[in-house]
Amino acid sequence: MQATDICRNGALSCARVHVCGSQTVGMQLALKDAFCGAAGGSEGRGTGRVKFVDLFCGCGGASSGAVDAGYEVVLAVDVCEYALSVHRVNHVGCVHICTTLPPSEPLPLPADGCVWHLHGSPPCTRVSKAYQQRDSAERQNALAIIEWYTRFAVFSSATSWSMEQVATPVVIECLQQLSKCLARTRFDYEVIDLMDIGVPQHRKRVIAGSPDVVSRVRRLARWRQSVKDVIPFPRATHLRTYMMNSNPKPDPTGNKKWVYKRYSDDEACKPITDPAPTVVARHFFRWAFPNTDSKLVLFSVGEMASLQTFPHGYFFGDKKRKAMRCIGNALPPLAMQQILSGRKPSRQRTQKRSVLADPASPSYDRRLHATFKK
């Protein structure tokens, strides 16, 4: 472990500590030590609301959903400085710590006896379907982080906890093994497509957490939204995905590890009257008119944020590609809000998430950039 400089922004500061996550020994931080934070570190401002701690917070999708559900975000932790800066701009009242997890020193968690919720979304790239079998060592390290966080949450003093992760076979197998050795009173999980609870995209995820949280997930009302429902000024009749091939299957000839189905240009187009494909970190969607020679137009940052159900006015910084990566990696706020509240939001609140200005104009993104630089 190697500690470096202090990162400051206004009154907030974070010790940037790099932990060797690829080494198993780095995961063996004693759980009890991680809950011995400095007195009063994240106890909030006495608002009376349930405290919310967001580990692997990214740009703040889970935190935004928690705020909508009436929680108070008091601590956010992530290793990405850019994502944490975005979180800091949008959630000014909480402590921000830039560090890899597991941490090298105790986190300033809420004190014992405080009512608080712990959430984490460990990195999913190395255990995703798209990653396949490219690097087994990196996959095992990603699974070790998932296991670390799960045990961290179960043995914490949190009143309730949750975790969001991709629903791939390796992740499900990991959770099944954990269920055999963790108390049923503190651990459960459920697989759900977030499209079925109003997120306007296909996004199959596993939600693990304390039994009360998972029970709420199972009881959530099923409802859907299309692309057109959250982007009121669409610039075409279809969106074209980044995927030109999919449905990987083992090659029966043995010449290749995987065989992909090749999509034509029109097959890669999806109507805006349906939910979108999964929003990911590395690729932009494009507006398209199938069976025409019209030029493809990239989605704006605001439009991609709407597909992830970020509220209107959420700021993502002055680097468009980094902003897109933050958006693709986030847990949709609308999903987190329902996981915590156990109910579908009102129609009025849902409409507030839509982009209210014409996204064809670059003014929305320019406003993001100007605010981030302040």
pLDDT of residue 229: 96
Tokens linked to 20: 């060797």
pLDDT of residue 105: 87
pLDDT surpasses 70 at 342: yes
Q: Where are the domains of the chain?
A: 2-219, 227-372
Assign residue 125 a region (left: φ > 0; alpha: ψ between -120 and 50; beta: otherwise): alpha
pLDDT of residue 176: 96
State how far the Cα of 306 lies from the Cα of 259, in Å rounded to an integer. Answer: 33
State how far the Cα of 372 lies from the Cα of 374, in Å rounded to an integer. Answer: 6
Cα–Cα distance list, 122 to 115, 119, 146, 214, 222 (Å): 23, 10, 6, 18, 26
pLDDT of residue 296: 86
DSSP symbols for 188-226: EEEEEEGGGBT-SB--EEEEEE-HHHHHHHHHPPPB---
| Contact assessment for residue 167 and residue 206, using Cβ atoms and an 8 Å cutoff | yes
Give the alpha-carbon dihedral of 65, 71, 75, 81, to 10 degrees.
20
pLDDT of residue 132: 57
DSSP category for residue 99: B
pLDDT top residue among 313 and 37: 313
pLDDT, average across residues 353-368: 43
pLDDT surpasses 70 at 369: no
DSSP category for residue 69: T
Highest mean pLDDT among 8-17, 30-39, 170-179, 236-245: 170-179
| Contact assessment for residue 34 and residue 105, using Cβ atoms and an 8 Å cutoff | no
Is it true that the peptide bond before 102 is cis, omega within 30 degrees of 0? yes
pLDDT of residue 21: 34
User: For the chain, what percent of residues have pLDDT higher than 90?
Assistant: 57
Q: Which residue intervals of the chain are DSSP H helices?
A: 61-68, 81-90, 136-154, 169-179, 211-219, 227-230, 301-307, 320-329, 333-341, 347-352, 363-372
State how far the Cα of 351 lies from the Cα of 185, in Å rounded to an integer. Answer: 37
CB neighbour list of residue 167: distance below 8 Å, 6 or more residues apart: 191, 204, 205, 206
Lowest mean pLDDT among 93-102, 131-140, 277-286: 131-140
pLDDT surpasses 80 at 336: yes
pLDDT top residue among 347 and 283: 283
CB neighbour list of residue 117: distance below 8 Å, 6 or more residues apart: 50, 51, 52, 53, 66, 71, 158, 159, 160, 161, 162, 340
User: For the chain, what percent of residues have pLDDT higher than 70?
Assistant: 72
pLDDT tens-digit series, residues 59-72: 999 999 999 999 99
Three-state SS at 29: coil
Structure-token match 């009376």, residue found: 48
pLDDT top residue among 4 and 110: 110
Instruction: Give the pLDDT band of residue 235 (cuts 50, 70, 90).
Output: very high
pLDDT surpasses 60 at 178: yes
Instruction: Give the pLDDT band of residue 46 (cuts 50, 70, 90).
Output: low
pLDDT of residue 125: 82
What does the mean pLDDT of the chain come to?
A: 80
State how far the Cα of 69 lies from the Cα of 59, in Å rounded to an integer. Answer: 18
pLDDT tens-digit series, residues 259-318: 666 666 677 889 999 999 999 887 789 999 988 888 889 999 999 999 999 998 899 988
Three-state SS at 369: helix
| Contact assessment for residue 14 and residue 7, using Cβ atoms and an 8 Å cutoff | yes
pLDDT of residue 164: 97
Domain 2-219 is of which CATH architecture?
A: 3-Layer(aba) Sandwich (3.40)
pLDDT of residue 17: 32
pLDDT top residue among 44 and 241: 241
pLDDT, average across residues 115-134: 83
